[in-house]
Each structure stands twice: as C-alpha cells, then as structure tokens.
Chain A
Amino acid sequence: MIVPYHLLQASGSVIFAAQEVDILSFNTSMEHLSTWKYPVKATETPSELAADAEASATVEAPPTPEGPPTKRRRTENDEKEAQAGDAGTPNSTNGQKKGRFHNKPQPVNLSNEKPFINCLLATANGSHVIAATGSDKTIWVFEHDGSGNLKQLSQRAMPKRPCSLTLTTDQKTILSADKFGDVYALPLLPSAEPTLPPTVQSLPSRSATPASAPIPFKPQANDKTVHTKRNLKALENQKISMELSLKAAAEKSAEESQPAFEHTLLLGHVSMLTAITVAPGIGATGEKREWIITADRDEHVRVSRGIPQAYFIEGFCLGHEDFVSRLCVVPGREELLVSGGGDDDVFLWRWKEKQLLGRANILEEIKNTIEPELTKVAVSRLKGLSLASGETVVAVICEKIPAVVLFTLVEDTLKHTATYSLKEQGVPLDVELLPNDNLLVSIDTTEGKPDAAAPFLVLTRNGPDSWDQKPVVDVPAGETELNGEEMQKLLYTTESLRKMSDFD
C-alpha cells in the first residue's frame, strides 16, 4: 500500500503535503510543483539488517552540519529500552520487550524504525518550511522560494522525539515539544551568533544539566554572624552544598552528550507532550507579549509565559478527562483556544483567564451522521480556518472516522455547522484551507472504497452548510510500499494515547 498524504500545510499559494518522509508541493489547483526527498542511505538492505539487529536499529544520518558528531543515532527502540524515561509511553504502540542487548539477531520490526514526518509547518510569510521526523528525532528547516521549491538549510537531531512544533510570533524561534515532556527553543536559522535574546534562560533539564553551571550560591552568613553551634554546622553544610551543586553540574555535563547546536530548554511537563502553540496577547504593561500553550497526555493544557519568562506558569486550562492531543488558537480571535483529544467534546477556552467557555460534543455529531455505534473519539486534527467570507471555522478530524466535522465560531461559542461524511472516499488525515474558502482534505484511501480512491478531495461550499466535493486524482503516488499494519502504526497514533492501565 502506498502511503497517503498525511500532513498538509498551506503557505500563500503553495500547498505542502507530507507523504511518509517526503514533502511535495502543489499549487492551489493541486498541480504538483516539486518534491523534497528525505536523504535515505541507499545501501541498507533487509538482509543486512537482519544480520545485525543492533545495527539495523540505526538510521544512518546523512551528513549533519550541526547535528551531533555521532554516526549512530539513538532510535526509538533504544529510547524505549532506556525508558524509565519516557514521560508516559502509550501502552499499545510498543510491542518490544525492554532489554538493551539482544543476544541473537532478531527479526527487526522495520516500521518501528522508519523515519516519518510528524510535524509540518511554514513561517507566516512563507519563506521557510519546518518539518520534524520521528524515530530519528530530527527537525528540518527549508528555505522556500515561494514557488514550492524547498532547499534544506539545516537538520538538527533533538535529544528526544519532537511531537509538536510551533514558531514564536516573531517567526524566529522554533519551539519543539517532545515525547519526554520538554519544550526546547531553537533558532529558526542556526547561526554563529545566538539569535535568542540573551535573557533566555536555559533550564537544567531533568536528564541533563547545561554545561554552564548556574551562579553558585553564596552562604548568606559567615562564620562571624553565625553564633550557635548548630548554626555553624548549618553554615558548613551550606558551603558543602555549594560545592556539591557545582559538582553535580560538572558531572552531568560531562556525562551527557548534548547536541552541538543552540537549543534551550524552556519548560517541561512530566508527561508526554502532544501539542504546542503560541498565542499572542497584551502583557501587564500594555506591551505585546506571547504565551506558550502546551498539552499533555495527562489531560493538562498549560499556559506558560513566552520567552524570556517561559519558566513562569500562568495557569492551566483544566477540564479534560482524557488525553489532550490537539490545540489551536482561533485565528482572528487569538484570545480563544480550542483543545481536543480523547474526550467526547472539544473545549473552547479563554486561555488567558483559564476560563472554559464551552464544549462541543464531537462524538454525538459523528454518531448522528456517520457511525451510530461509536463510543469514543480521538481528535487527530484541529484546525482553525479564517475564511475569506469573514467566518472563523474550526475543522475537526477524529482518528479513523470518515468525516470532517466543522464548527463556526459564533461570538464565544462553537456552533456545529456540518459533519462532512467521507464514507465513500476514505478516512481523512488532514485538512487545509484553499483560496475561495475551499477545503482541501487528504485521504487515506486504503480505509475507503478503493475504486473511488483519490488522495485529495476539494470541498467547495455551495451553501451555508453544504459542500460539493471534487476528487484530485492526478498527483504523484508515493514510492514506498508499506503493509497495512506498518501503515496503521505510522498514521494512527492518537488513540494509543488513551490510558488503559489498571495496575498500581
């Protein structure tokens, strides 16, 4: 089976679509413009792989200008083995047993190791495109010439797998939220000079400590001001603790091989992060500020201040009772946030006040029109679309559900406008806005009727809540064939965020 187009990103009059590890560009009539291909090492053959299970876990890195100097990258399996660590590993995705060393060569589950684009975004002016690939944990930055051609500028392997990427409002800094729960800031364009404001403080990470030790603590009393024996003892201890703290810093920085490129730890959850977004607003002094909003597998939506105060938590938008997988700041109404995940509802928040404005029941909408027997949904896409008509639409896709559910923002509520059934076509993977308020939907045709197979559909609105559909057939088919199981694992990862453990 050929991998469908699973991520869409419009940028001006160009549409980017990710297909496995490649990025294709199209014009707004969905004519193919250009393709960027992931640089894969050509010599890997399955037999070689089987011969050495350890080595097969290797994704040979193409030359990395600013990546770590190691040839062998840690891949997902290593990570899972090392795992005390994962901030919360979904239960079902990992069939592998723990254990660092395999005595015998073992058949390798290739799909576990395949790099796969899991994030795709573009700068506001379209000058750059950013992607993240899973398993090799790499963030890619491309220069975009405005006509769909991408030139790779950088490739940075992160300490942990990025789960969601966003940009600061000035478009100069990438924020990467990872599987381990940490958020890193990276300059969009790595350069000799740091582009992050010097005031940005890198927090020592849970697993690593920055090379530069913090300013050592000075005992706040000296031998003279301390009178009692006990105080003297305590003072001694404070001096010891200063040394210990420096020792801890030194030891850790020696131990950890940190990526060589500039990256700054901003904040972290002790939970797998699933989504990150940046919302603009006005600060206490009346100046323009921004906030970083992060969502995790443990139902939290956290609002932190933007750089350089990302260490300060403003609060939490709490109310979800299952994992949160997607966030979107409402375009044109940036004080509003929509969040969705494993709950029946998507939530509408006034994020700065942490106030829940309303909930919209997705499950009911889908049961009404698509699948009456459905018992749960897992939101896999949530996109706020600013239509030329002036309307603001939130498009929701739930994993493996053949429908796109549309809500319109009416004042401070989400009003359900349409549940667009794709039962005949297949399962939608992503949705994006085209000119003339048309919607582009990418489809997993293997989940639908193969005869009607078209990788894209264009939905044209012909009434308040009625849409015409036009399949886009003439597009390049991907080259990689995957079996059904592999494909499922790569494309459908949201439902696996749901907790099902019942142990202590």
Chain B
Amino acid sequence: MAAKKNKKQKREDYRAAMKQDDVLTMPRKKFYRQRAHANPFSDHQLVYPPHPDQMDWSTLYPAYVAQEESQPEATPSSTTEDLSAPVKVKKLTQDVEVADIGCGFGGLLIALAPVMPQTLVLGLEIRVSVTQFVEDRIKVLRRQNEESKAYQNVSVLRANTMKFLPNFFRQGQLSKIFICFPDPHFKARKHKQRIVSTTLNSEYAYAVRPGGVVYTITDVPDLHGWMVQHFEAHPMFERVGVEEQEGDPCVEIMRNATEEGKKVERNKGEKFVALFRRLEDPVF
C-alpha cells in the first residue's frame, strides 16, 4: 500500500513539476502511463464544446491567435437574445485541418509538425494522462524551439472521437485523418468498440472534405481486413491505389514515427497500411 501511494505521489510530483514554465527536459512516459483501454461508450468527464463555433482553440495554438480587430458583436436580433449563447472565443488565423485520432503518446504529431509547417495538426486522445504527456511534450518542444517557432502548429486534446468529433470539427474542415494502430479489440463481442465502422465512417466523411484522405495503419491483419471492408463498404470512400499511397510522404511517417509503429518495428512485426479518399458529395 505504502509503496503504491509513494509511486502515485511520485507521479503527481513529477507531473506538477512539469507544469513549471521553464522545464526544458522532455517528459518521461513512465509517469503518464494509464490502463490500456478506456471504454468509448461510457460517460467520461469529458470537456467538449456544444458546437464547433464555441471551441476555444487559442490556448492550443497560441501562435495562431488572430489579432482582435473589434469583432462584430453577435447581432442582437429582436426576440432571440441568447441564441446558442454565442460564447466569445478568440479566433485563430486558420483552422485545424489534420487530425490524429487516438494519437497515443504523440509520435506522429511531432513528426508531422515540421513536414506540414503551414498546417494545424491536432491529436485526439481519450486517456487523460496520455493526453497530458503529449501536452507536456509539445510544451517542452515549443520552449526548446522558441526561436524557430517550431511545433506551434501541433497540439493535443482529450476527446472521445467516437462520440464527439462533430463537436470539434465543422463539415469538411479536415483534409486528413490519421488512425494509427487503433486498439484491435480482438473479441467479437468488442468489435463494436472499434474506431472504424461503416456507421462511424459517415462521421469521418462528414469531417473530411471531398478529396481528403483517411490514413490507417495496423499490425493486426484481421483489424486491417475489418477497416478495409468497412471503408470500402461506405459509399463516400474509395481506397487509394498503391502508387499514390507509397508516393505520399505521410505514409512513411505513419509507418515509423508513432510509438506503436516503433514497437512493431522492434518486434519485427508486419504493418498494414490502407488509405481512403473521401469522394465528392453525391447529388441529392
């Protein structure tokens, strides 16, 4: 008991210390580990905006906050005074366009940051302390690179993407979604917890603009088969061909930069990649 408490205390002390403004050393994973699975169906104490317009991105991307030029007040139209209570949030100069769903310890974000320096990239992760790790990691990287302003374009957010993607992103806001080494949920009974399914793919199709791409990678053959099957069965996606896939620099990063990808590499496991293009909206 005492030992356990001690460990917990250490964790807390460590993480509190990481909050200091001058920390320049990278956070250490062992103080942020968490049970591997969080049930995506239960009500977590999650924070999410009721509407994407009410999302305050300014704390996540402080370098991209738009200069306040006397924002036009929400026009008080007659009787409807507090319409969706237009919470005033600071606007960014540009929107998040790339999402890493289930970003884990953030390896992909860090690797993408310099590759797409003009693009805002967001990691979404359901586990609290894992999210905290990535947050601290980015904080330190930004501090270490104050001059070059690197890593200002990546950030992380705690979220259950299976439920709340539309609370963060407007229709067609994203150009790319990455789903890297998602939890396999081997048992048939747990398949419904998988982060790819045809019904969920409708939400990915909603958030990704026509021509945008969903990137998937896994080392679990059956899960790969599942993801391919469910995306191909969805009328809004088509699989991207081999040559285009292999010509995409993001694919190489996805193979090698994520923590899971590295683990698979160490164990000499196979990695299965599949990309799916969001098709044009059908006429209705």
Contact = CB atoms under 8 A, between A and B. Distances in A.
A144 to B, nearest CB: 33
A198 to B, nearest CB: 14
A242 B272 CA distance: 12
A502 B270 CA distance: 40
Given A88-B42, A207-B191, A240 B272 contact: yes
B233 to A, nearest CB: 4
B229 A213 contact: yes
A256 B38 CA distance: 25
B41 A501 contact: no
Interface stretch (A15-23, A244-252, A325-333, A421-429): A244-252
A214 B229 contact: yes
Interface stretch (A43-51, A146-154, A304-312): A304-312
Nearest to A248: B225
A492 interface: no
B45 A244 contact: no
Interface in A242-269: 242-249, 252, 255, 265, 267-269
B115 interface: no
Interface in A149-206: 180-182, 201, 203-206
B144 interface: no
Contacts of A182: 199
A86 B41 contact: yes
B43 A499 contact: yes
B84 to A, nearest CB: 4
Interface string A306-343: 00010111011011110000000000000000000000
B233 A203 contact: yes
Q: Number of contact residues on B: which range applies?
A: 35 or more
A201 B202 CA distance: 13
B241 A220 contact: yes
A275 B194 CA distance: 24
B42 A298 contact: no
A238 B242 contact: yes
A361 to B, nearest CB: 10
A133 B173 CA distance: 41
A311 B154 CA distance: 31
A413 B194 contact: no
A86 B221 CA distance: 27
Contacts of A320: 50
Interface stretch (B7-15, B21-29, B99-107, B158-166): B158-166
Contacts of A413: 79-80
Contacts of A472: none
A234 interface: yes
Nearest to B85: A319
Nearest to B158: A504
Contacts of A315: 171, 206
B30 to A, nearest CB: 19
Contacts of B224: 241, 244
A309 B200 CA distance: 15
Contact of A244 (B167, B198, B228): B228
Interface string B191-212: 1111001111011011000000
Interface stretch (A30-38, A281-289, A452-460): A281-289
A318 B50 contact: yes
Contacts of A88: 41-43
B188 interface: yes
Contacts of A313: 202-203, 205-206
Q: Which of A240, A248, A252, A304 has the most CB of B within 10 A?
A: A248
B39 A84 contact: yes
Interface stretch (A222-230, A392-400, A461-469): A222-230
Interface in B132-147: none
A20 B234 CA distance: 40
B236 to A, nearest CB: 7
B240 to A, nearest CB: 8
A359 interface: yes
Contact of B41 (A226, A270, A285, A359): A270
Interface string B221-255: 11011101110111110010111011000000000
A234 B41 contact: no
Nearest to B192: A206
B190 A309 contact: no
B194 to A, nearest CB: 7
Given A313-B205, A413-B80, A319 B200 contact: no
Contacts of A358: 79-80, 83
B40 A270 contact: yes
B171 A244 contact: no
B283 A242 contact: no
A85 interface: yes
Nearest to B252: A230
Nearest to A285: B283
Contact of B163 (A201, A270, A504): A270
A265 B45 contact: no
A271 to B, nearest CB: 6
B229 A319 contact: no
A498 to B, nearest CB: 10
Contacts of B272: 237, 240-241
B51 interface: yes
B71 to A, nearest CB: 20
Q: Which of B38, B226, B235 has the most CB of A within 10 A?
A: B226
Nearest to A203: B198
A84 B246 contact: no
A238 B189 CA distance: 27
A198 B36 CA distance: 43
Nearest to B234: A311
A206 B51 contact: no
Interface in B36-95: 38-45, 50-52, 79-80, 82-84
A243 B42 CA distance: 34
Nearest to B225: A244
Contact of B246 (A234, A242, A311, A316): A234
B189 A298 contact: no
A124 interface: no
B234 A203 contact: yes
A201 B225 CA distance: 20
Given A85-B192, A240-B272, A359 B82 contact: yes
B255 to A, nearest CB: 10
A219 B79 CA distance: 59
Given A249-B229, A318-B50, A321-B50, 8 more contacts: A203-B198, A215-B232, A217-B228, A226-B242, A267-B202, A285-B283, A309-B282, A315-B206
27 contacts: A87-B41, A180-B192, A206-B191, A209-B229, A213-B229, A215-B232, A225-B243, A228-B246, A234-B273, A237-B270, A237-B273, A240-B221, A241-B272, A249-B229, A284-B284, A302-B166, A305-B284, A315-B206, A318-B51, A318-B167, A319-B50, A357-B80, A359-B80, A501-B45, A503-B45, A504-B38, A504-B45
Interface of A: 82, 84-89, 91, 180-182, 201, 203-207, 209, 213-215, 217, 219-221, 225-226, 228, 230-231, 234-235, 237-238, 240-249, 252, 255, 265, 267-271, 283-285, 289, 298-300, 302, 304-305, 309, 311-313, 315-316, 318-321, 356-359, 413, 499, 501-504
